[in-house]
Amino acid sequence: MLEKDAHNSSLTAITGLRVSLVDELEEQIDSLLEVLVTREVFTRDDREDVLGQPGPRGRVRKVLDILECKGEEAAQLFLSIRSHQQVFNKTKAAQLQCLEYNKVRQKHKDVLRRRSECMLFHNSRHGEKILFPEHYVNLLLVDGHQVLEVKKHEVLTFGQKRLCLKQRSVAQRTITPLELFSRANGTRPVKKVLVTGVAGIGKTMLVQKILFNFGRSEDSLAFDFIIHMSFRDLNLVENPTNFRDLVLRKNKHLAKELDTILTCDDKLLIILDGFDEFRHYRSCDADVFVTEPDEEAALTDILGSLLLGELLPRASVLLTSRPAATNHIPVGCIDRFVLIAGFSLTEVNDFFSRYFRDPTLASSMFAAASANELMLTLCYIPAFCCIVCCILKQSKDLSGESPKTMTDIYVHYLMAMLHSHTKRRAETDHQGSTQQLSDTVLKLGKLAYRKLMEHQTLFYSSDQEVAALEGCSFLSTFLDKMVAQEPGYTEEVFSFAHLTIQEFFAALYCAVTDQPLPDDSLSSRGEAANGHLDLFNRFLSGILSNRNAAVLLRQVGLRCSKEKAEAYRYKIISDLTKFCENGAYILNSLHCLFEQQDPSIALAVQPAKLQINVSDNTLSQMDYNALKYFLNLTKGQISELDLTGTGVSCEALRDIQPLLVRCKSLWLGENNLNMGAVQVIADVLRVSDTITYLGLGWSNIGDEELQELCSAIQVKKTLKELWIEGNRVTHKGLLSLKNVTPEPLKIVVAIWNDLYDTNPESVHTQESIKVNFTDDDMWDSWGEWVFRRCEVSSNEKLVTVLHKVCKISAQCLEAQWAKTFYRKLSELIKSRIECCVEDDMCKKLKTFDCLFN
């Protein structure tokens, strides 16, 4: 019996599979029949019998009946033909799918190319097409961002008790857009990239460049698909949604292949542009995870999951943001931080050439811009460069007082645009009056202001403020119009030509109406201006300055009230005085002062102590200009200048060297200081009669650099404390301290250096050289300093400081000073939590609260 079964195994199999074979073969029975005849398994008569059956399923059944009569050999041949057929079908399906995938990929590239091939310039939006490749100017991209790398490191090692907490400084280098996803040092894959840069520096342009090149298959970014989403547009998503729908919103042509595209997620790049513009930017550190593209969820959870790699874990993500919002990005998941540094002089020149096209005109315009150094500095930011060109194009020169500040440039721009508009109107209907102009400007201002306060950058035509603009003629100069496809209907959607222009109009509205000045000073709850209104405040200050107020009144009949201007000046003076005295973060106030260009305001700032804290923020030349402007107008000693984590370079240090000489405490830690930079510091030590405390922790200092500093310290002998934690100094390096300790240097803090071996000749047995935490007064004062800084910090800055100080907790908690320090911190955190209204911030503070208790 068994033997018989074995002999008849194919026949038995066919009998067993009969039902499924009928399903499987019904669509291919005719071709299968032909093969059976060709291979002589069936005769022509058999074929006639089969074809005589009604319907394909009947024909399959007949084939199976005949096979049963023919016996085992025929059954075997049949099964082998069937399995060949299966393989053939599968290959064909795969080929078809691949063909379809490639077709959609090409189509998508065509769409991206079409979408990105034009460039919008602020004054050329009346049907004038400017081709992207003809106007795109190379942007300087810097790989590595000290402050964010440190933050990431701190987030990742949060609460860990590590013995050696050395944080190497980040080596920075310039890269090209092509290298954004290339592996650093050829090791770890780079999947999540964060690109930051200040307003108008070219983040969106960089995204356009990537899309354009991809659309033209011009670069070798190894992706099959790039999905581009802007937060400006995502703000319009109201209800829970899913990732698939988010992709299809703007890419309906991907619908058929989307499953395959999402399955091959390692070949997918998702670009999320303008995180700072996101209405829900505070809620992206998701703890509710979405793992499937079809899962319905809140937009923030979907985006958070994408960033954290819970959704489409193999996909690459490029996120762009202004620096102010980076505190709300889960930096732990970012593999590469890239900073856009804008243009250098060569690129500014290139921009002028491309803008004016005629080389002679371009070079005379460039000369006009170069005549004003401050204006040239502004041109390093592409958006400002573009506006400068636009003004020059309209007015041929910079007549009158030439622009010195960012606001001056925007006011000139507004005037140039209005002027060209009235000229055009005058040529046709002679109706354009100043009154009409100022009315429209005010309406635009109201729209800009209301929406900025609500964190909105896109507005529907049904919005009240948009409806009020109906019929105004020069809107297209400042507003972009798009048509949004909503399910079932379309609606017009507007946005300002650029976010900075919205911020400018918003400030203008606030300056010339009775809208109260926004109160952004640090409240006891630590809710300082969260960066969202930084630029708005700078514009507001500039517009309220006597110079610009006069221009606005003369040219458009817009009047800033005297009281408001006075109140604002008073606010600058009192803010600056307060921040100098308490050591709070001061950069934006310095910019507001700079915008006024009125030395009498700076002279009125007379703090009891001059402390300047601009730490933990990469500084640009414009920032240094604002810093120099204020400090050059003040006299005498600078009690403290805190440039920790600002990316300060050797050139920048040279630029501000005269200020460094006036400092008593100078903090330069968490910057990558090369030998050139150390030499500038040494030069300062050689001449300064005031410098007493110097902080160079985590700044890549090695033995040679330390030696350079020690020989400089010996000249004036004013330095008392040197902080060089977390560097590369060895025992040998410490020997160079021999001649300067304990006099004049009373304290050298060298913990977390390369001091592993116990060297009998070592100098750190000297009491003044600290290589470990101890229980003494010095740490007590350190704790007090940190605590004072925490007290005047916004919650966001506080969290940055807390991350830094929580590192030491494990090692020294037993010391009395540490007990007091952490108890006070814990109380401060508790009081901040009580008043905190922002969910993500509350969560962060609570984590520290748990840690410290």
Ligand X SMILES: Nc1ncnc2c1ncn2[C@@H]1O[C@H](COP(=O)(O)OP(=O)(O)OP(=O)(O)O)[C@@H](O)[C@H]1O
Q: Which residue is nearest to ligand X (CB)?
A: 202
Does 386 help bind ligand X (rule: CB under 6 A)? Answer: yes
**Binding letters toward ligand X, positions 109-138, x by CB under 6 A:** ------------x-------------xxx-
For the chain, what's the residue count? 853
Nearer to ligand X, 328 or 498 (CB): 498
Phi, psi torsion values for 702, nearest 5 degrees: -115, -170
Nearer to ligand X, 351 or 779 (CB): 351
**Binding letters toward ligand X, positions 450-489, x by CB under 6 A:** ----------------------------------------
- Of residues 334-363, those binding ligand X (CB under 6 A): 351
Q: Which of 63, 109, 140, 202 binds ligand X (CB under 6 A)?
A: 202
Closest CA to 342 of 393, 377, 389, 387: 377
Nearer to ligand X, 323 or 669 (CB): 323
Q: 404 is written with which tokens?
A: 């010195």
Does 197 help bind ligand X (rule: CB under 6 A)? Answer: yes
Q: Which of 61, 151, 498, 789 binds ligand X (CB under 6 A)?
A: 498
Residue with tokens 């964190």: 455
Q: 169 is written with which tokens?
A: 């400084």
Does 710 help bind ligand X (rule: CB under 6 A)? Answer: no
Smallest gap from Cβ 535 to ligand X, in A, equals: 8
Segment holding 174, helix H or strand E: strand 173-175
Between the CA atoms of 471, 474, 476 and 478, what dihedral angle is there, to the nearest 10 degrees?
-120
Q: 727 is written with which tokens?
A: 């560097």
Q: 412 is written with which tokens?
A: 């000139």
Segment holding 704, helix H or strand E: helix 703-716
Does 203 help bind ligand X (rule: CB under 6 A)? Answer: yes
Does 194 help bind ligand X (rule: CB under 6 A)? Answer: no
Smallest gap from Cβ 448 to ligand X, in A, equals: 13
Residue with tokens 């034009």: 118
How many residues interact with ligand X (rule CB under 6 A)?
A: 22
Does 751 help bind ligand X (rule: CB under 6 A)? Answer: no
Contact 433, 455 (CB under 8 A): no
Distance, CA of 746 to CA of 721 (rounded, Å): 6
Q: 67 is written with which tokens?
A: 């096979």
* Residue 34: alpha-carbon gap to chain centroid: 64
Strands 479-486 and 663-667: unpaired
Nearer to ligand X, 144 or 202 (CB): 202
Smallest gap from Cβ 198 to ligand X, in A, equals: 7
Nearer to ligand X, 199 or 682 (CB): 199
Nearer to ligand X, 201 or 737 (CB): 201
Measured distance between the N- and C-terminal CA atoms of the chain, rounded to whole angstroms: 80
Distance, CA of 437 to CA of 441 (rounded, Å): 6
Closest CA to 642 of 676, 618, 617, 666: 666
Nearer to ligand X, 381 or 769 (CB): 381
Contact 367, 320 (CB under 8 A): no
Distance, CA of 423 to CA of 431 (rounded, Å): 11
Between the CA atoms of 567, 573, 574 and 577, what dihedral angle is there, to the nearest 10 degrees?
180
Smallest gap from Cβ 813 to ligand X, in A, equals: 43
Does 274 help bind ligand X (rule: CB under 6 A)? Answer: yes
Closest CA to 390 of 232, 480, 503, 497: 497
**Binding letters toward ligand X, positions 312-331, x by CB under 6 A:** ----------x---------
Computed from CA positions of residues 363, 367, 368, 369, in that sequence, does the dihedral angle turn out positive or negative?
positive
Does 177 help bind ligand X (rule: CB under 6 A)? Answer: no
Q: 211 is written with which tokens?
A: 């899309």
Coil/strand/helix, residue 503: helix
Q: Which of 41, 139, 441, 587 binds ligand X (CB under 6 A)?
A: 139
Residue with tokens 């106030």: 589
Contact 169, 699 (CB under 8 A): yes
Q: Which of 33, 67, 383, 619 binds ligand X (CB under 6 A)?
A: 383
Smallest gap from Cβ 567 to ligand X, in A, equals: 28
Smallest gap from Cβ 393 to ligand X, in A, equals: 13
Segment holding 46, helix H or strand E: helix 44-51
Nearer to ligand X, 536 or 585 (CB): 536
Smallest gap from Cβ 498 to ligand X, in A, equals: 6
Nearer to ligand X, 109 or 322 (CB): 322
Q: Which of 116, 151, 152, 200 binds ligand X (CB under 6 A)?
A: 200
Nearer to ligand X, 25 or 205 (CB): 205
Stretch that binds ligand X, among 194-202, 297-305, 716-724, 756-764 (CB under 6 A): 194-202
Nearer to ligand X, 18 or 354 (CB): 354
Nearer to ligand X, 140 or 560 (CB): 140
Residues that bind ligand X (CB under 6 A): 121, 135-137, 139, 197, 199-205, 274, 322, 351, 382-383, 386, 498-500
